[in-house]
Structure 1
């Protein structure tokens, strides 16, 4: 799968390093740059990489970090135990993630990750990383209930402009 060189440059600047296992842009920020990429289930050396949808935008990541620090994940975690419908939706999000990751492995001709390997963000029984859950929701709208809730609580991180320049002539690194 080929990713446009400007997108690769933007993601490299967002991360501060070359992206690993990059397969595709899974979602674009309203500013036009990638904010979620799809990665290979296995890195070129064959090692497992369970994060299929990787949030790359540092502005979005910072805003999500603020949510994580607010205790929101603990509250979400408690709700899983008391709400069977929510728990079922979260299980369905996990199942969706695994199916998409397995499909990516098949398309690349690599061995799928083991069945007992985590999907992302703590699914299906824990809420461990809102960055991963939001990345899943941005890539596949309507599938991840906690990703959606977190996304709805975020400010418009793109409103004051892109997080980095995608211009191949510019210096790398996130803007402030």
Structure 2
């Protein structure tokens, strides 16, 4: 898929810097702006970038950060030990994420992102994953989106120059 210069410029305005390793726009806000980008498994300098899907929407980043601050990730992680079907679905999400990343370029590791498959570490990653691949793949991304339904998406949720939202919104290589 071709990324337009307008897309690159808009994502840069969302992040407050030039995007790195961007392969394609993986999901868009209702207003048509990028909300998730897919990144290369390695940055141009060879640094591994295991976050295949990166949340760029400023409004959504902020809302996801609020969920993270509520203790939801701890609750989700605890449920993995209590709900075998949920744990199995989360393992499948991890395997799907790994397979998709490795189909682009293998990093030679079974590490994906967001704590998969043993814990929930970053909801930004899970929300981005759900938006990029659709519902039914990542149970925690889907659950977070359900909790955010009244906050996002609606209207022009991302406007140029609004900033990045969460400082580390799924970007292990941000600096």
Please report the TM-score for the alignment, with normalisation by the length of structure 1.
0.87
Query: Distance between the aligned counterparts of 1:30 and 1:161, measured in 2?
Result: 7
Equivalents in 2 of 1:147, 1:13: separation in Å?
25
Candidates 94, 97, 107, aligned match of 1:113: 107
State the 1:59 CA deviation.
Answer: 0.4
Unaligned runs of 5+ in 2: 166-175
User: Could you say which residue in structure 2 is the equivalent of 1:86?
Assistant: 86
Partner of 1:174: 162
Could you tell me which residue of structure 2 aligns to residue 153 of structure 1? 147
Pairwise CA RMSD of aligned residues? 1.6
TM-score by length of 2: 0.88
CA displacement 1:110-147 (0-9 Å, x = unmatched)? xx11224x211100001000000000000011200000
Listed as ranges, the gaps of 5+ residues in structure 1 are 106-111, 166-172
Separation (CA, whole Å) in 2 of partners of 1:133 and 1:5: 27
Structure 1 runs (4+) deviating above 6 angstroms are none
How many residues are matched? 162
2:158 to 148, 152, 163: 163
C-alpha displacement of 1:53: 0.2
